[in-house]
Structure 1
Amino acid sequence: MLRGLRCVRCGERTGLRYDTSGCSGCRAAGVPSALVADHGLSGVDGPALWAEWSRRRPGLWSHHELLPVDAAKAVTLAEGATPLLELDEGVLLKDERRNPTGSFKDRFFTTAVSWAREAGASTVAVASSGNAGVAAAAYAAAAGLESVVVTTGEISGTSSGLVRRFGGRLLFGDTPEQRWAILREHADEWTVLTNTSEVPVSSLWVGIEGYKTIAYEIVRDLGDVPEVVLAPVSRGDGFAGMWLGFQELRELGVVSRTPRMVAVERYPSLSRALREGAEPPPAGDVAGPVEATSISNPQATVMSLRVIRESGGTAVACTDADLHEAAERLGRAGVGVELSSAAGLVGIDALRRDSLLEPGDRAVALVTSHAANQPGTLR
């Protein structure tokens, strides 16, 4: 069923590759673009597959037919099957705080680390200053693999302590870009799972496949597709993975339409790209420290931009102050989130202000991480 990979920008198809450099043709043209899985679904009985999934115990690996790893060999900590919480009329939260390490990154690393172990890796490596590093170390530990998290001095004591608790090794670069250089330098000895490009491209496509299951679960729990899905976006691996999942369900005939995808970003990279018709998205100006570290990459990806354009969605830029206000509102509803995870609520406010949500529209905001993962931003 997995035919190979395709470029999100030019559509060029290629065989399976396990690096994060993206499409060679688009890179040569100066527009580094991601490669994602290309599943052949034309011969699949979609309604029958959906019925089979509905009979299984909920969880990420219950959708194994459209995942790139043998489920019998999966490294799993019982991730997925996270609930939809109703916030107010028409607004639901996809609560990814319920995953084993408290964030949606577990969906990426259950698939990526499962593949790495099956491929014979001994050490997996990532660039991260937060949730991805913690999840990578946890799943590597569960798989019996070594892990290396390349980070900067901005990593919190909570994240660094958890990485070490799971047996991970921390290496430090002076800048985010230096992290990627370290990963490139050691690519022959480590199995690298996250972005390595200074103009960001994406993490490894195998892990992005895990994020598709968020879309499957939203449709399962709603019984249909919401009109809008909003997510905090930096490079947008999860954003793109959800979009792939919705597209697959439409191709399989399980649903008849797809949602508008809305990226909520700390820097206005995607917002500028949409306004100016730019590709790749331009980098935003960095002015001082950012508290919303999970979405603090100033330059977005072609992959995220393509999701917005294909879905008829948009991008919303926000400030730390916006996120604090939204996080406090969520807290008063009993939902404690990492600062970046409040971005979906900021996006809903913006859509309502601009009359982009119609009466009766259902909007699902992705809550990516628990407040306990970033206690330093609690006030």
Structure 2
Amino acid sequence: MKKHGLAEALNRFRVGNTPLIDIKGIEFGLEGILVKDESKNPFGTFKDRKSKDVAQYAHDAGIDYVMAITSGNYGYSLSNFLSSVGVKTLLFVPEDINPAIAGRLRKKAEVIPLDLESGELTTERMKSIAETSGIEGKGINATNFYDDSYLDIFKEIKRELDKNGKKPDYIALPIGSGELFAAALRYYHLSDTKIIGVTTDFKGTIAAMLYAKYRPIMEKITKHGNPEKYEIIKASEIEINNAYQKYKTGLNMEPSAAAAFVALQRHNFKPSDVVVAVNTGKG
């Protein structure tokens, strides 16, 4: 695809500059809560930011196909952006993935169900599977790739809060693979802002996008990061479901995104604290 065609294909997707909205916070002892609503991206997820950048790179670098490990929403987002620029998508998903999610992914991608808990799925093995599946050419693994794309979320939050002379005391967000959590820690590492990440270790969770047996990004953070800069909450199924039922009417989200709001129930905030919850949307 020629460059002007690429620009036309990608620019029709309006990614980023998502709204920062106010919701009531009195029941949590807060004057108010701000929500960065990433569901307003083209395919309803914060992953759209990364997917668009991957598509741009893949086209510019002459990539024939892009591979990724996904539980659903990244794969859906990625395959839609890549198909718009004529690049194939090969997705590796859990073998017990919901059939409806797998069917949705197959509309724009080749989907390979695997036992993702038996060991690390290396790029070399992924490429070998791609060749066996008849996919040829130059390929890349975009599972952990272009994570800088998420920094813009926090730049946009700053821009909006600056208008009122405020800064966030806390950022609450869900933790799946850990990419968004890592981006938040990077952006706020020199500030007083604390990051609260919410996740689960329950494999059968309703928040399917949060569970992962292998989380190399999170392992690095907990091993080398500054524990004073963050808090990790392991949410129960009751907490996640309660948050989902409470906020799903006003916000476009899935249970995995609703997990961020568990932080509002668990953490003891001061009434004057500026708290921003990131609604990661749904894929």
Task: Say whether the fold is shared (TM-score over 0.5).
Answer: yes
Residue equivalent to 2:51: 109
Residue equivalent to 1:96: 38
Is the 2:58–2:87 Cα contact (8 Å) retained in structure 1?
no
Residue equivalent to 2:157: 218
SS at match of 2:209: helix
Residue equivalent to 1:85: 21
**Deviation at residue 152 of structure 1 after TM alignment:** 2.3
SS at match of 2:95: coil
Please give the residue correspondences for 1:229-268 in structure 2 after superposition, counting only pairs within 5 Å. 229-247=171-189, 257-267=191-201
SS at match of 1:295: coil
Is the 1:236–1:304 Cα contact (8 Å) retained in structure 2?
no
Residue equivalent to 2:135: none
How many Å separate the matches in 1 of 2:7 and 2:15?
A: 15
Count of aligned pairs between the two proteins? 257
SS at match of 1:244: helix
How many Å separate the matches in 1 of 2:208 and 2:104?
A: 17
- When normalised by structure 1's length, the TM-score is 0.62
Is 1:170 paired with 2:111? Answer: yes
Distance 1:133 1:176, change over 3 A: farther
**Deviation at residue 103 of structure 1 after TM alignment:** 0.7
**Deviation at residue 179 of structure 1 after TM alignment:** 7.5
**Structure 2 residue runs without a partner (length 5+):** 1-5, 25-30, 129-137
Residue equivalent to 2:210: 295
Please report the RMSD computed on the Cα atoms of aligned residues, expressed in angstroms: 2.6
**Deviation at residue 73 of structure 1 after TM alignment:** 10
Distance 1:289 1:302, change over 3 A: closer
Distance 1:310 1:322, change over 3 A: closer
Amino acid at match of 1:169: E
How many Å separate the matches in 2 of 1:128 and 1:175?
A: 10
How many Å separate the matches in 2 of 1:305 and 1:343?
A: 20
Please give the residue correspondences for 1:119-268 in structure 2 after superposition, counting only pairs within 5 Å. 119-165=61-107, 167-177=108-118, 180-181=121-122, 183-187=123-127, 189-194=138-143, 203-204=144-145, 207-223=146-162, 224-247=166-189, 257-267=191-201
**Deviation at residue 292 of structure 1 after TM alignment:** 1.1
**Deviation at residue 307 of structure 1 after TM alignment:** 8.8
Distance 1:243 1:312, change over 3 A: closer
**Deviation at residue 313 of structure 1 after TM alignment:** 2.0
How many Å separate the matches in 2 of 1:349 and 1:84?
A: 21
Considering Cα pairs closer than 8 Å and 6+ residues apart, tell me whether 1 or 2 has the greater RCO: 2
SS at match of 1:291: coil
Is the 1:243–1:307 Cα contact (8 Å) retained in structure 2?
no
State the identity as a percent. 23
Is the 1:258–1:311 Cα contact (8 Å) retained in structure 2?
no
Amino acid at match of 2:197: A
Residue equivalent to 1:342: 258
2:226 aligns with one of 309, 319, 322: 309
- 1:272-319, Cα deviation, whole Å (9 max, x unpaired): xxxxxxxxxxxxxx5x62221111014542344379626622111102
- 1:154-178, Cα deviation, whole Å (9 max, x unpaired): 323443233222x211112133446
**Structure 1 residue runs without a partner (length 5+):** 1-70, 195-202, 251-256, 268-285, 374-379
How many Å separate the matches in 2 of 1:344 and 1:308?
A: 21
Residue equivalent to 1:320: 237
**Deviation at residue 322 of structure 1 after TM alignment:** 1.0
How many Å separate the matches in 1 of 2:41 and 2:119?
A: 30
Residue equivalent to 1:360: 272
Distance 1:307 1:137, change over 3 A: farther
SS at match of 1:264: strand
Distance 1:74 1:179, change over 3 A: farther
How many Å separate the matches in 1 of 2:223 and 2:196?
A: 12
